[in-house]
Structure 1
Amino acid sequence: MAADNAKNGDALPHVDTHREKRIISTSNCGNLTVHIQGSLQHGNAKPVFLTVHDMGSNHAEFCKFLDHPSMLDVKERSVFVHVDLPGQEDYAPDLPEDFLFPDMRTIGHGLMEVIDALSIPYVIGLGEGAGANILARFGMDYPQRSLGLILIHCTSTVAGVMEYFRDKLINWKLSNVGMNPTAEQYLVFHKFGRQLERSENKEKVINEYQHKLRSTINPKNLRRYVETFLNRTDLSEVLESQLKTDVMLVAGSLASHLHTVRTMANHLNKTKSTLVLIDGVGDVLNEAPEKFAHNLVLYVQGLGKLSSLPVTGSWNARSRTTSQSSDAQDAEAGRHRSRAMSMEEYDIPNVRRLSLAKKD
């Protein structure tokens, strides 16, 4: 959209110089809509991020994050490939009744077909919620094509009893009456987390999200995605042995499924994983874009990319990080880190890779 306005002569800040939409046919996921920001001609020189969205959203969520001023330099030095899952695009028509919505692992295979079609040698996965779970499976099946994974609010477990019945209720309502207050309230809770009544400055972003759910997301198609996520298989016991890719887990301290993120962290290979906890937020992308951007840059620099990009942080709130990591990654990221954090609230290994906080 920004590119179209630029062609019409409208002056817009931070307009992308290259944005492209493609429809890519896959074996078991149907046609996937892919939005590319940046030029793939520079795919070998620049980091390529592959994004997968959560339930109730699509690529626009990541585009909004990339438009934040703290991501301007990263956007200019990178390529972003955003994948919309089947039927999740804005104003999408109903999926055919005989279309079999793929399971989480099959979608991961579809992602492989996308990067093959685009001749991309390897990617850094960036996913949120259900999309993060899909990317974890992609990383397990295709470690040679995954340089690293940035997983926001990712779970490795199956749906718990309460989640199962709650999701079944939401799923039924989406199927029978379209978007409705009950389904909408659950999706808001899923995205923005706990203690909404105590949150400040959330009303605007929540209203925007509700408007998108009511006006642009097809509820029948969304039901298919919810059902797939509800029927996910457990990854916990195989993560340490089968997920060889470097992983950064990210969660807000008020996230709706924080306990499942911590469970996943405890099952990852501690030499190749990092957990970043951002205080006081439930929705990392909308409530803490600058903090997350800072974390992202540090992590990507640890992978050997964006090494010339300066890292800054001007926030007052504290984010906390725990992990174990390889010496090479520590050396790459060490020149940017300070060591100021407290971990008394968390039962995760107290071995620090990066500190992403400023001393009070």
Structure 2
Amino acid sequence: MSSPAKTQLTKYIVTTERCGDLHVHVQGDLNQQGKKAVFLTVHDLGCNHASFHDFVNHPCMCEIKERSLFIHIDVPGHEDNAPNLPDSFQFPTLQTLGEDLVTVLDFLHVKYVIGLGEGAGANVLARFGIANPSRVLGLILINCTGSAASVLENFKNKFVNWKGSGSVSQSAEEYLIFHKFGHQIVNDANSDKEKVMQEFQERIRSTINNKNLKLYVNAFLNRKDLPLKQCKTDILLITGVLSSYANVVEKLHRDLEKTKATLLKIERAGDVLLQAPEKVAHSILLFCKGQGLLTSLTLPGVERQRTFSSSSGDGDGRPRLSRGMSMEEYDKPNIRRLSITINSDHVPNKHN
């Protein structure tokens, strides 16, 4: 199946106090933000805004995309074919990146967002949510790490050396591939996996500036503990069972209040955005409904009978759902009480 054409992106360069110029890509119409859900995305290591742009353009995200606005962030020096960052530039910590993201919202005149981040980007958005609770309606964090880098990660870091500015060493590539795809690289012999990893390798060798990428990797490996207990908003943690960070995400969930945090584990997946986009889209919609957003959309895979009452319009001539027939009135999800494991062959099971 061929992928759908990408929607138009509007590019902005936003100057921040401590992170320098951030390249921001807006997917959707900013003038419609009052009528739509607004997502703020930050990417993982080895990629840039294109990873979330591609995900949003997947067919499973079509209806959510039509009713939402996405603000994609490139961390410093990660725009396509970016030049080397100046030697005088101090690459920001994950904490500084998170704190400075509010400048982007102010620049675009956006009041509230749902944070959507992956890996290192999830850590950044979590710090943004803690620092700016009045600007965040919820956090969707994929493979988010709550603790500082482990001894094992620091040991690996000793071998992550870029040789020159034009190539990535084999050890660095191996680290990034394991970070991205986790245990799937040894547990799964699927030929599609090989193709996906090859595409990832080609991207970090070409489009992404390797010198700048090393700075982001080092910022991630030198991260401090994430005080996510201080976050005042609802949180959805997503991981793949085959992810290298599955156990870390589970530990993070155990340390959080169950009234605020939900854990979603997707079976037979390491990179959930690429390998299980339908499951991720389903969980995003479920989470947003729990926040009172995207309530007009039906849940994928759930058949809902809709009848319209011609006698009760919205005042503009359009019929609306009869209250007696809207099942969303009866089963509106309370995502904060759910802990979910998704099997790729079944609809999610819900456990209290």
**TM-score in terms of structure 2 length:** 0.84
Tell me, in whole angstroms, the C-alpha distance in 2 between the residues paired with 1:333 and 1:60. Answer: 37
Tell me, in whole angstroms, the C-alpha distance in 2 between the residues paired with 1:359 and 1:150. Answer: 17
Pair 160,86 (structure 1): closer, same or farther in 2 beyond 3 Å? same
Pair 251,355 (structure 1): closer, same or farther in 2 beyond 3 Å? closer
Do 2:6 and 2:54's aligned partners in 1 also have CA atoms closer than 8 Å? no
Q: Percent of counterpart pairs with the same letter?
A: 48
Could you list the per-position Cα deviations for residues 98-130 of structure 1 after superposition, in whole angstroms to 9, with x for gaps in the alignment?
000011111012210001100000100000000
Tell me, in whole angstroms, the C-alpha distance in 1 between the residues paired with 2:22 and 2:348. Answer: 45
Structure 1 residue aligned with 2:150, among 160, 169, 175? 160
Tell me, in whole angstroms, the C-alpha distance in 2 between the residues paired with 1:359 and 1:332. Answer: 17
Q: Could you tell which deviates more after superposition, 134-143 or 195-204? A: 195-204
CA deviation after TM superposition for structure 1 residue 198, in Å:
3.4
1:8-47 equivalences in 2 (<5 Å): 13=4, 15-16=6-7, 18-47=8-37
Tell me, in whole angstroms, the C-alpha distance in 1 between the residues paired with 2:170 and 2:262. Answer: 37
Q: Give the match's secondary structure for 2:35.
A: coil
* Corresponding residue for residue 259 of structure 2: 271
Do 2:265 and 2:341's aligned partners in 1 also have CA atoms closer than 8 Å? no
CA deviation after TM superposition for structure 1 residue 88, in Å:
1.0
The reply to whether residue 97 of structure 1 matches residue 83 of structure 2 is no
The reply to whether residue 66 of structure 1 matches residue 62 of structure 2 is no
Q: Give the match's secondary structure for 2:91.
A: coil
Structure 2 residue aligned with 1:352, among 323, 327, 338? 338
Pair 129,359 (structure 1): closer, same or farther in 2 beyond 3 Å? closer
Q: Residue type of the partner of 1:279? A: E
Could you list the per-position Cα deviations for residues 14-63 of structure 1 after superposition, in whole angstroms to 9, with x for gaps in the alignment?
552x5201111100000000000000111121011000001111000001
Pair 81,176 (structure 1): closer, same or farther in 2 beyond 3 Å? closer
Q: Residue type of the partner of 2:148? A: V
* Corresponding residue for residue 273 of structure 2: 285
Do 2:167 and 2:205's aligned partners in 1 also have CA atoms closer than 8 Å? no
* Corresponding residue for residue 211 of structure 1: 202
* Corresponding residue for residue 343 of structure 1: none
1:159-238 equivalences in 2 (<5 Å): 159-170=149-160, 172-173=161-162, 178-199=167-188, 200=190, 201-235=192-226, 238=227
Q: Give the match's secondary structure for 1:51.
A: strand
Q: Give the match's secondary structure for 1:98.
A: coil
Q: Give the match's secondary structure for 1:173.
A: coil
Q: Structure 2: give runs of 5+ residues left out of the alignment.
A: 303-326
Do 1:333 and 1:354's aligned partners in 2 also have CA atoms closer than 8 Å? no
Tell me, in whole angstroms, the C-alpha distance in 1 between the residues paired with 2:328 and 2:101. Answer: 29
Structure number with larger C-alpha Rg: 2
**TM-score in terms of structure 1 length:** 0.83
Structure 1 residue aligned with 2:331, among 331, 335, 338? 335
* Corresponding residue for residue 110 of structure 2: 120
Pair 312,224 (structure 1): closer, same or farther in 2 beyond 3 Å? same
* Corresponding residue for residue 322 of structure 1: none
* Corresponding residue for residue 6 of structure 1: none
Tell me, in whole angstroms, the C-alpha distance in 1 between the residues paired with 2:88 and 2:105. Answer: 27
Pair 150,269 (structure 1): closer, same or farther in 2 beyond 3 Å? same
Pair 289,260 (structure 1): closer, same or farther in 2 beyond 3 Å? same
* Corresponding residue for residue 319 of structure 2: none
Q: Give the match's secondary structure for 1:106.
A: helix
Could you list the per-position Cα deviations for residues 302-349 of structure 1 after superposition, in whole angstroms to 9, with x for gaps in the alignment?
1111000111139xxxxxxxxxxxxxxxx9797267xxxxxxxxxxxx
Tell me, in whole angstroms, the C-alpha distance in 1 between the residues paired with 2:213 and 2:329. Answer: 39
Equivalent pairs, count: 317
* Corresponding residue for residue 313 of structure 1: 301
Could you list the per-position Cα deviations for residues 132-190 of structure 1 after superposition, in whole angstroms to 9, with x for gaps in the alignment?
001111111111100000000000101111111102321x3367884122211111111
CA RMSD of aligned residues (A): 2.4
